[in-house]
Amino acid sequence: MAEEEEHLQQLRSKATELFLREEWKDSIDAYSHFITLCTQKTEKTSQTHTHSDPNHLQKLRRSLCIALCNRAEARSKLKDFHSALQDCNHALALDASHSKTLLCKGKILLCLNRYSMAMECFRTAMLDPQNSECSNEYLEKCKKLEFLSRTGSLDLSDWVSSGFRGKAPELAEYIGGVQIKKSEISGRGLFATRNIDAGSLILVTKAIAMERSILGGIDPSEEAQLAMWKNFIDKVSDFVRKCPKTRGLIGKLSNGENEEELEVVDVDLFRPESVENVKLCDEVDMGKLLAILDVNSLTEDAVSANVLRRNNDCYGVGLWLLPAFINHSCCPNARRLHVGDYLIVHASKDLKAGEEITFAYLDPLCPLSKRKEMSMTWGIHCKCKRCRFEGDVLSKQEVKEIEIGLERGMDVGGVVYKLEEQMKKWKVRGKEKAYLRASFWCAYSEVHRSEKSMKRWGRRIPTLDIVVDSINDVVGGDHRLLKVLVEDFNLKKNSGGGLVEMEKVFKLGREVFGKVVKKQAMKTLLELCIGD
């Protein structure tokens, strides 16, 4: 009996030493061995009731509770949150008021964005005077994040005004008024359930996994991209292996096959608090997982994205669950911001209830021919109204001549003038006119930036305001439209004017970046991200 006790003591001491040295994997193995033997001894002692020390069973249970708590913390360090929570629950079954375990469980739930459940743990842990200060700190943090997750009241003004110094602010998962439905574009899509103003938040969600690489001012080579992709797959595979809920949710994403037969799932399954309603998967089919990642992964350098961080010389790829349901459109109505591992999706145009939310996977400010080339890479066959209209118009000889002239270095002012005259001749109006202006944006942009061209053509072509408003009506907020508007505002400001233009800049800025900063911080944001 004494030898058995000594062996247990040695095991516990070894596990504790490894834990304190932050050798998490080895400490987990040592604690697992101790927990197995201690559990067996506890059960045996509980059944026999023959031990001379009446407190012996209580001591064994206390040792087991501490070991489970420490193993939970070690597992959480390795992001094995599912197993860590199981350890916490097992420990609390032995001692429901064990404050260290309550604190550990609360921190794990906080990492999983389950704010309400985490708050209950921290409130209970505060009853222990030794942990009250630490628990209260986490409780206040939890309250703030729970409010953000409930309201979507996000304000990044202080961080932006500081020039993105320090760590990115802590964000909370948020799901606005959206639902998943069958889509006329492809398979399933994400739809607004209420009217959403331009700039308003739609989603804030954390990546399942991300991989980034510093570029050093050059595009990543094919070899570098393959290495990144492998590391990214490994991270996703590791997380999926550890978390049954994530396995179940990823399994609901498209793998690019049988799109019309896919199940329309409830958006509530993707809320962090939804634990019980997700059908858990026991195995990971690597072939299916690779196909899912190929179809649904997003990169930070996309045309519909802005990255908020101090060092923009990075390339990142990640997997976010709900944004994976957002389909492509050449007339998109949503954009995304990348802040750390979080993805913020906001409306770039006013959305009506029942309208499908869309991103631009292909550059909406380039001609149909180039969009078709890019669509081959994405595996997209766009059948939107814009593509159908341009397909008819661009087959006309007059437009082909304009395209050829542009390729051969024809004066861009002449290109814009000729296109505008042809649209008058064909009686092209409204959005259809905006479609063509968007496709020839490079010409419009160049002529309005050239003092020489404007002197020659300025009176015969539409003003910059008209062109930007027209294109913005169909493609939503775009950083390139914002950039020329900022340049125009700076010119007029230096000439003593520009107040009206300033309001237009701020309005478009909210469509490009979302309503995540106050007005003064928006000025800083424009300088950091647009004014280069």
Q: Is residue 469 part of a domain?
A: yes
* DSSP states of 380-448: -----HHHHHHHHHTTSHHHHHHHHHHHTT--HHHHHHHHHHHHHHTT--HHHHHHHHHHTHHHHHHHH
Q: Which residue has the tokens 């030493």?
A: 17
Residue 7 reports pLDDT greater than 90: no
Determine contact, residues 202/178, Cβ cutoff 8 Å. yes
Are 240 and 105 members of one domain?
no
Per-residue model confidence (pLDDT) at position 493: 73
- pLDDT, tens only, 28-47: 999 999 999 888 887 777 76
The percentage of residues in the chain with a pLDDT greater than 70, rounded to a whole number, is 93
Are 350 and 406 members of one domain?
no
Residue 495 reports pLDDT greater than 70: no
Determine contact, residues 228/209, Cβ cutoff 8 Å. no
Residue type (1 letter), 113? N
The kind and range of the H/E element at 192 are strand 188-192
Per-residue model confidence (pLDDT) at position 282: 57
Are 334 and 430 members of one domain?
no
Are 318 and 185 members of one domain?
yes
Are 140 and 14 members of one domain?
yes
Q: Is residue 366 part of a domain?
A: no
Per-residue model confidence (pLDDT) at position 364: 95
Per-residue model confidence (pLDDT) at position 101: 96
- pLDDT, tens only, 323-360: 999 999 999 999 999 999 999 999 999 999 999 999 99
User: CA–CA separation, 62 vs 94, rounded Å?
Assistant: 8
Mean pLDDT value of segment 161-180: 92
Most confident of 119-128, 311-320, 351-360, 406-415: 351-360
Are 322 and 205 members of one domain?
yes
Are 300 and 404 members of one domain?
no
Per-residue model confidence (pLDDT) at position 5: 79
Beta pairing class for 305-307 and 327-328: unpaired
Domain's final residue, options 294, 329, 359? 359
Q: Is residue 155 part of a domain?
A: no
- pLDDT, tens only, 289-321: 999 999 999 999 899 999 998 766 778 899 999
Are 198 and 339 members of one domain?
yes
Residue 471 banded pLDDT, cuts 50, 70, 90: very high
Are 384 and 351 members of one domain?
no
321, with CB counted inside 10 A (0-12, 13-18, 19+), is buried
**For position 321, which CATH number holds?**
2.170.270.10
Q: Which two tokens stand for residue 59?
A: 């001591």
Q: Is residue 223 part of a domain?
A: yes
Q: Pick 349 or 491 by higher pLDDT.
A: 349
List, in sequence order, the alpha helices (H) in 95-213: 99-111, 115-125, 132-151, 157-161
Per-residue model confidence (pLDDT) at position 216: 56
Determine contact, residues 255/235, Cβ cutoff 8 Å. no
Give the distance from CA 124 to its chain's centroid.
33
Q: Is residue 375 part of a domain?
A: no
Are 327 and 422 members of one domain?
no
Per-residue model confidence (pLDDT) at position 328: 94
- pLDDT, tens only, 40-77: 887 777 766 555 556 778 888 899 999 999 999 999 99
Residue 215 banded pLDDT, cuts 50, 70, 90: low
Are 385 and 348 members of one domain?
no
Q: Is residue 473 part of a domain?
A: yes
Determine contact, residues 314/214, Cβ cutoff 8 Å. yes
Residue 275 reports pLDDT greater than 70: no
Residue type (1 letter), 200? S
Residue 438 banded pLDDT, cuts 50, 70, 90: very high
Q: What is the mean pLDDT of the chain?
A: 89
Per-residue model confidence (pLDDT) at position 219: 65
**For position 21, which CATH number holds?**
1.25.40.10
Q: What is the pTM of this model?
A: 0.91
User: CA–CA separation, 250 vs 319, rounded Å?
Assistant: 10
Enumerate the β-bridge partners of residue 346.
Answer: 201, 335
Domain range spanning residue 386?
Answer: 380-531
Residue 92 banded pLDDT, cuts 50, 70, 90: very high
Mean pLDDT value of segment 164-177: 92
Q: Is residue 109 part of a domain?
A: yes
> Which of 9-18, 66-75, 176-185 is predicted with the least confidence, judged by mean pLDDT?
9-18
Residue 258 banded pLDDT, cuts 50, 70, 90: confident
| 131-134 contacts, C-beta under 8 A, 24 or more apart | 131/99, 131/100, 131/103, 134/103
Residue type (1 letter), 337? L
Per-residue model confidence (pLDDT) at position 310: 75
Residue positions counted in the chain: 532
The kind and range of the H/E element at 234 are helix 222-242
Q: Which two tokens stand for residue 285?
A: 């089919």
Per-residue model confidence (pLDDT) at position 474: 95
Q: How many domains does the chain have?
A: 3
Are 145 and 173 members of one domain?
no
Residue 531 banded pLDDT, cuts 50, 70, 90: low
Q: Is residue 161 part of a domain?
A: no
Helices 499-513, 519-529: axis angle to 10 degrees equals: 80
Per-residue model confidence (pLDDT) at position 50: 53
